[in-house]
Amino acid sequence: MPIIAGRRVKLDSAAVERQLAGELPEPVREHYPVVGGRRFPPKQVITLMTGLDRADFTTHQARRVLQRLGFPAARRTAPASDPRPRRPEREPDPLVEALRPFIGQWVAVRGHEVLVGADSITAVVSWLTKHGVKAEGLFRVPDSDADVFGAAPF
């Protein structure tokens, strides 16, 4: 069991995934773990799981604990000057790959980054407003190719 802020806490990856399934991630500043295909601020995860005050531990401590539980973690990169550079056809578009975990949900995006995804447009707009974040796009990720291209009647 890891020790955070001088307290021994009981955490397991399955419990973290269950708890965060119904949570919307706050904006990621720099570091993030990926839980359930979504990027979360490390301190948000540890606070939700333990009830500890965010001021009692560092982002790096939280990130290390989550990595030990098996969650991949990374650092956000600076946005490119051209958010949609041309890529060879064989290389997958980063935005397409970022949208895969959000199939069937409403999303807000900026460049190649999915800021938030939720089941309703109201939840996405509320999240953007609450956190003072501006998106470049707001749309529903289709459930299937038929939703994208339409289905011809037989």
- Give the CA diameter of the chain: 66
SS (H, E, C) 24-64: CCCCCCCEEEEECCEECCHHHHHHHHHCCCHHHCCHHHHHH
How would residue 105 be classed by pLDDT, with cut points 50, 70 and 90? very high
3-state secondary structure of 67: helix
pLDDT per position as a tens digit, 122-138: 999 999 999 999 999 99
pTM, to two decimals = 0.61
Per-domain residue ranges of the chain: 3-75, 94-147
- 33-91 pLDDT, tens digit each: 999 989 999 999 999 999 999 999 999 999 999 999 999 999 887 555 555 566 556 67
